[in-house]
Structure formats: C-alpha cells, structure tokens
Structure 1
C-alpha cells in the first residue's frame, strides 16, 4: 500500500510530468493522436450531402470542394516550408488553428448560423485539413533524431571511441560528388543520362525519366479513380436507394480497408520481392485491375453490391500508396526520395480533379437536370439524381482509364524486369569476415565487416602469399 502511494506521489510531481511530456514515448502517443485526427479527410462523404443541400451546390461544385481537400492532403509543400523556419510546436499550432477555423466554418454554414460562404472560401475551409494529415512528419523526425541520439550514447558507453583518420583525397571526392559543378550544357546532358536503376538519381533525372512518367500516369488514373468513388460515396448510395445508415457503413468500410490495403500490400509485396524476385510494379498492375471490379459494381448498380465495392475500393486505394512509394525509393534511390515521393503524391489530386470534378460531377448534374426538366432546376442543391444512370457512364469511363493505367504500368514492369530479377538490396549489404589467421600471424576478429573481395583480387593475393612462402623456404 505504501509502495503504491509512493509511486502515485512521484507521478504527480511536476518533475515527473515534465519528464513524461519530454519523453520520446509521449511523442509516439501524440503522433498517433494527430494521425487519428487526420482521418477526417476520409469522412467527406458523411457531410457532403448536407453541404450540397444546405448551401445549394450542384454536384460539380461539391466535387470541386473535394478536390481542394485532396489537393491539400497530398501536397505538403506549405508545411514543409514552415518547418524549415519554425519549430515543430509552431507547425502543430498552425495546423490546429487551421483545422479549428475550417471545421468551425463548415459547422456554422451547415447550421445556417452564418451566410453561405462563396465556393473559394468553402474550398479553403475544407482544405484546412491539409496540414494536419502531414503534421506527424515533424514528429517522426523528432522520434528518429532522439532514437539516434540515445543509440549513439549507449554505443559510446559500451565501446571506446575510435579515432578515424580521414584522407583529404576522399573528402575532396565526396564534396565533388555532392556538389557537382557543371555548365548549362553539361547539366542538360547529365539530365538525360541517368544512372542504372537503383542508383541515386538527381531530381531532374528522375522527373524526365520514362519510369517516373509511367508512375505519374498510373497514379493519376488509379488513385484518381478510387478517390472519385470515395468522395462521392454519399451521392452514390443515395442515388441507388441505400439508407443514410448504410452510407455511414460504407465510409467506415473504406477507412478500415484503406488501412488493410496499406499494410497488406506493403507486407505481401515485400515478401514476394525478397523470396521470389517478384517485380513490385506488377503488384501495382494487379491492384489496378482489382479496383476495376469495384468501379463496375458501382457503374451497373448491382443490388446490395455497394458494400463489396466499398471494401474493394478502400483496399485498392490504400494498397497503391506503399507500392508507389516503394517503387520510387527502389528505382530512383534514397538520396532525393523525400522530394520525389511528393511528385508521386501530386498525381492524386490531378486525377481526382479530372475524374471527379470534370467527369463524375458534370455527368451527375446533367442526369439530374434531365430528371428534373432543365438545368435551372438541377442547379438547386436539393434536386438530387436518382437511379443507376447518375454515375453509370462516369464509372464506365473511370474503369476504362484504370484499365489504361494498368496497361501503362506494364511498361514499367518490362523496363524494370532485370532490375527486380537481381538483388535490389545488394548495395546495402556488407559481407561478414570470419575470424582467420594470416600467414604473418595477424588475426581478424570474427564478425568484423569488410568489403567484398573480387575473385581476381583473391587469386592475386593467394599467388603473392605462395611466392612469399617459397622465398622463405629457399632462404
């Protein structure tokens, strides 16, 4: 009893509370909370119907709001720039303020406590969720740096520090490699002469490569199509006659299977790549083909099939992200990965705008206008579309472009087939040297890491040792 009271007394002290708040485990907890809150970007379908009816938006305008939400979610340039000049707490404070202001404006507009905002202002309000989704990145950096510092401290306590002598020539070469100086003509020439796959590409070499172009097109078609279905799920369910409670279930299924797709695709693709040399781009092709099943279920309005479509599209949407980022890191190297993966993410809102706003939204409004006898009547927010035809042609087009994306991805499969047949992690491996005794009696410790010696070098070294033994015997 006394022990429990003593522990409680210690935990209630300001010093202990401050230690907990400064610990790396609290950072993990805070990161999880931020990531959980960032899930609000996926529940747009829950309140989009109310936005449409209360504010008098047509479907194309509503999808424009969804586009700005997706744009901010996938382009983290603003928060990255702020992070360069401000501490992490300032970035978090800005993100919290933007979310509070954005969702408060949405709440006031929906409850009609304020005048309906113009579309550009509503787009900003919905887009306030932008920063929160990527705010866990600075916390991830904090976790990484703290872990590295602790590991370095523990290692220094266990092993005495070794003095490393740095050769000037090697340092000079490294500086030249890191900061290449070339004229305009030389830089343009190097831009179109990329290194081998798996080596570190420069940003411009990666952007003008066929591989990055293929990934961009595939992301526009694949992720853009699934995002269109996710953002329009409320209107899809309403047009097909599902009750409001079922629409909430669809959103939950999409979120759950989005997570399952991210984890499952990442784990399974890594397993097949490591075990069977399975090309990862082929897994991306399979995901795109599988998503076509969900699009077709929506297009033809198969009874009670929207549950299965939600599962399929949620899984495929989540599965595309780890595959996309893994391919970028493996093909173009890790040196500029933090910049290149943002270019891959930028394809998502572009596809969402074309497929969601320009195709799905416009076709929905056209069908609603036909059902209600004219464009003027359909422009009112409470004039909704009923029936399979509301989204049929739009999702048939989305199915077609997704199939086209799958075919385009086969170009990447073909161009990287030899790369994935080899050991893509070979450059990260160092051969262990078993404890051996040389002819001069010097020993090498077991488990010491040494560079791999070629067969020719080993043969020459063996001949030299035999020659030395013969000379000793002659003497």
Structure 2
C-alpha cells in the first residue's frame, strides 16, 4: 500500500464493524467490577464496622445500580453512543473513587446511605457500558446476536479474574487498592474508544459465524490462562515480577482479537476496490424494491398516524412475537412478566450467592488467599457460562429449533446444585459450588438478553434490554438483605451469646461454621427451582415461535438494498439500513 492508501485504509479500519467489536471486547473486559465485591467487601466491613445485614444492604445497592439500566437505555434512545459511554466513565470513577477514599481513611466515615449511593453510582456505570457497546454490537450483527451476546458478556465475566491479575501486579495483595484500580481503569478504557463505538451500516458476511468462532477460541485461551494462573498462585508463591509477567501475558491475550479484526477489515477493504461484475442484478431488482419501498413508507406513515391517535389503546394489542413492540407493550406482556419472575428467582439467587462468597469462605474457615480464588473461579466460569449459553443456544436454535427459555430452565437447575453444595458443605465443596454458581450465573444473562431481543424486536432494545434486568436487584434485595443477611446475623448473635458477649463488644459481626449459610441457601435453592419451572412455562408458550425462522426479516427486509461484491472465497453482501 502507498502512504495515501494506507491512511485511507486506517480510516476505514477504525470506522469498521470489526474494529468496533474489538473495542467492545476491551470495554466489556473492564465492565465487571461488580463481581469483585466479594474480594473487597471484607475491607468495607472491617474498616467501617458493619454487620452482615448492613454489608448485604451495600451489596443490594450494588446490584440495584448494576441492573437498573433504564436511565442509560432512555438516554441512548435520544443521544449518540459517545455521550452514553462518557457518562458511564464519569459515574464509574466518581462512585468507586469515593469508596476507596472511605476505606483508606482519607475522608471522614460516611453514613450508610452515602456508601450505598457511592456503590450504586459506580455499579450503574456498567449499564452505560453495556448500552453503549453491547446494544450497538447487537444492532450491527442482528443475525449473530446470540454469539455476540455470549462473547461480550463472556468478557464481562472474565473481568474479575483480569482485574485480579492486574492488581496483584500493580498493588500486590492490598485489596483496598483494588477499589482504586476499579475506579480509574474502566473509565479510561471507555474514554479511549468513546468515538469509535456506534451503529454501522449492516454488512452481512457469509463467513461471519466463523469469525466469531475465532474470537471464541482466543477468549477460551485467555480464560484457560487465567484459570491456570489462579491455580498456580495457590500452589506456588509468586513474586512481584511473576505477577507482572502474568499480567503482561493477560494484556497481550486481550489484544490478540485485534489481529482478527485487521484481517477482516482488510478483506472488506480489498473487496470494495473490486469492480461489480453483475450490475444487471441491481438494475433488475431496484425498480421493484423502490416501488415496494414507497409502499412501505406510505404504510409506515399511516401506521405512525394511527399510533399517535391511539398510543395507549394498543398497549394490550401487541404485534406478533418477533415484531417491534413498543416499550409499554413489551413491559405489560405476559411473556415479559413470566421472564421477570424467572429472572427474579434465578438472577436474584445467583447475585446473593456471589455477593456472599467472601463471607461463606470466612465462615467455613478458608484463608483469605483461598477466598480470592473462589472469586476468580466464579469470574472464569462466569465467562464459560456466558459463551456457552450464547454459542450453544444459537446452535441448538438453528439446528433443532430449541427454544432459548428451555436452555434457561436447564441453567437454573444447575444453579440449584451449586446452592445445595453451600447448604451442605463437604471439604472442597465450595470450589465446586463456585464453578457451578459462576457458570449458571453467567449463562443466564446472554439468554435473557437474547430472549428479549427475539420476542420484542430491536427497535426499543436499548430500553427493553435494561428493563429486563430490573427483577434481579429486587430479587437480590429480598433474598440477600431480608433473608440471607438477617439469618446470618441471627446465627452470629447466637454464637456471641454462647460466648457471653454482646453486639457492642465486637466491631464486626462474624459467624463461623456450616450452619451460618445452611438455611439461607436451602431457601435460595427452592426459589431457583421455582424459577426453573416458570422458565419452562415460557419455553412451552414460545415453542411455536422458535420453530419458525426468527431471523428471516433481517435477510429479506423490504427496506434493504443489496449489492453483491465478489470475494475470492465467499461473496460478501452489503445491506444498507
């Protein structure tokens, strides 16, 4: 390439869909700070003298912020993506930086409500990253939404293990400094790519799925490396240099997908320069398409006029499944209510388990470095759950027309097993429980987001995708604060009384023994099983819908204009919105 052509290619590359996918991977890899709460929650509890109920209240506000993304969705409907990502960066830094100032004693001890506000703001920034990057990617790759959701949410799942490697390399074993890392790194990464994440012209490539499999293999290698480091760090004493080397390799693996993006954009660039061999196809099809387009535009105008006249009268008259629902039609539909209940039970229980992981390890007598390994295991298997549910559900849907809600049912049953291993612990069972809970927790999210996009359309996906998560913080509050936290404190007070002490005699309330979490996790297992039954009901309701071709409208949309560009291997079809 000459200098001028190189510059033009670089402009094309940085504006291409595949580079945007790589940038989204990095943003998502930094967007899972909420999963590290189990690592630094002990610092908050000991520094501020909280009991378990108060700590779980903080955990609830973390979950509330992380899952109530309606504000980010509504903002995304009326503002450009760069604005959404910028707001998220600012919220992330402010929220977690204030927590770091608090636990390090650099500011006066705040009220409980202030700490709840700080962590809610910091956690809510995750929704702005999701809305800015994840929703945009789904709209740019509508026919590969399952695998795209699995990959992007998979990187979110790995972020806990990635942050762990980085903070060991930068700060050593100071878990308070982990909060500072969480404050500045995600904000910086989002700002770097803030102008590169946006909706592009949809380019349908016939080898698109194979490219996503390349991304999958790279991410699996990264996950296996992180798991190997997690095991090695528990068996061998790592020096600061060893941690630095591990973090360097981790960062290098994060940038390997860039090579795939370069290759794909270079192929698109070369194909764009080739002459169109069959212009006659375009000449024959265009008049008919233009005529159809005019008719569709007229129909749309009439439809819009009708909608403005009867906005609320259509709330209970939704279109067929798969068409674009309005926000009210979707939120008040029976399918969404069923999905809400299943999410309340499944994600609510999973969030409760993950948030209490640090205290579970403490109550069962595990040392601090082992508790950190539980958090890393949850993070890594969270990743495997996300990519597994994304890719496997897409495969089962394409080959066997298996409804995605049925996959959700199976995942929730797996989660029940993890809860029971905590309720009835045996030596080493927490390791297995961490894997099962991490996998099932991760698998639920891509399934939830894909089901919403398939049943209710993509027109208002930015808002609906965030509304779909509202059940999880509600479930977290009831199951975490009102059930698990109160039962834990009740058992801890019994132990204090048996030792002849009162609550005023100790700084923080700690419970030791398997009985601390036995009853709470039996309740979580029962609630999750009920959620599995509800999800099964949704699978039965939607089985006929999933038997059809749910992506047909994206291939045969009357609004699209096709242009065939020759390729040395496969044709690449450009479809303009």
User: Counterpart of 2:129?
Assistant: 135
Q: What is the SS of the residue equivalent to 1:46?
A: helix
1:125 aligns with 118
| Deviation of 1:203 (Å) | 2.5
**CA separation of 1:426 and 1:250: change in aligned 2, threshold 3 A:** same
Write out per-residue CA displacement over residues 404-436 of structure 1, whole angstroms, 9 at most, x where no aligned residue. 1111122212212222233333444559xxxxx
Structure 2 match to 1:440 = none
After alignment, is 413-422 or 94-103 more displaced? 94-103
Unaligned runs of 5+ in 1: 1-6, 432-446, 450-475
Match of 1:293 in 2: 417
Distance 2:456 2:450 in 1: 10
Q: Do structure 1's residue 101 and structure 2's residue 101 form an aligned pair?
A: no
> TM-score normalised to the size of structure 1?
0.78
Q: SS where residue 112 of structure 1 aligns?
A: coil
**Among candidates 340, 358, 379, match of residue 464 of structure 2:** 340
Match of 1:145 among 199, 216, 222: 199
Q: CA deviation at 1:193?
A: 3.0
Gaps of 5+ in 2: 137-195, 204-264, 558-570
State the Cα deviation string for residues 250-303 of structure 1 (Å, max 9, x = none). Answer: 110111111111100111111111111222211111111110000000111222
Secondary structure class of the residue paired with 2:469: helix
Matched with 1:404 is 530
What are the Cα deviations for residues 167-225 of structure 1, in whole angstroms up to 9, with x where unaligned? 765432111224533656x843x332333333333322222222111100000000110
For residue 422 of structure 1, the aligned residue among 541, 548, 553 is: 548
Q: Counterparts of 1:231-250 in structure 2 under 5 Å?
A: 231-250=355-374
Aligned with 1:281 (options 401, 405, 419): 405
Equivalent residues of 2:81, 2:198 under 8 A apart:
no
**Where in structure 2 are the equivalents of 1:13-24 lying within 5 Å?**
none
Residues 376-403 of structure 1: CA deviation (Å, up to 9, x unaligned): 5179542300111211111111111111
With the length of structure 2 as denominator, give the TM-score of the two structures.
0.65
Whose radius of gyration is greater, 1 or 2? Answer: 1
Distance 1:240 1:381 in 2: 20
For residue 38 of structure 1, what is the aligned residue in structure 2? 31
Note if contact 1:57-1:379 (Cα within 8 Å) is conserved in structure 2.
no
Q: Distance in 2 between matches of 1:368 and 1:77?
A: 38
- Tell me if structure 1 keeps the 8 A contact 2:73–2:466: no
Deviation string, structure 1 residues 317-346 (Cα, Å, up to 9, x no partner): 110111112222222233333322222111
Instruction: Say if 1:136 and 1:199 are closer, same or farther in 2 by CA, change over 3 A.
Output: closer
Q: Residue 517 of structure 2 aligns with which residue? A: 391
C-alpha contact (below 8 Å) 2:488/2:517 kept by paired residues? yes
Give the length in aligned residue pairs: 421
Could you tell me how far apart the structure 1 residues matched to 2:547 and 2:541 are? Answer: 12
Q: Could you tell me which residue of structure 1 aligns to residue 60 of structure 2?
A: 67
Q: Does 1:196 align with 2:320?
A: yes
After alignment, is 223-232 or 268-277 more displaced? 268-277
Aligned partner of 1:469 in structure 2 is none
> Are the structure 2 counterparts of residues 58 and 247 from structure 1 closer, same or farther at C-alpha, using a change threshold of 3 Å?
same
Asked if residue 318 in structure 1 is aligned to residue 453 in structure 2, the reply is: no
How many Å separate the matches in 2 of 1:404 and 1:379? 41
Report the Cα offset of residue 136 of structure 1. 5.6
- Return the structure number with greater relative CO, CA threshold 8 A, min gap 6: 2
Structure-2 separation of matches of 1:73 and 1:375:
38
The 8 Å contact of residues 74 and 463 in structure 2, kept in 1 or not, is answered as: no
User: 2:223 aligns to what?
Assistant: none
* RMSD of equivalent CA atoms: 3.6
Contact 2:73–2:463 (CA under 8 A) maintained in structure 1: no
Distance of 1:326 and 1:139 partners within structure 2: 15
- Preserved CA contact (<8 Å) 2:74 2:462: no
Alpha carbons 2:85, 2:128 under 8 Å: kept: no
For the residues of structure 2 that align with 1:398 and 1:306, how far apart are their CA atoms? 16
Equivalent pair of 2:63/2:123 in contact (CA under 8 Å)? no
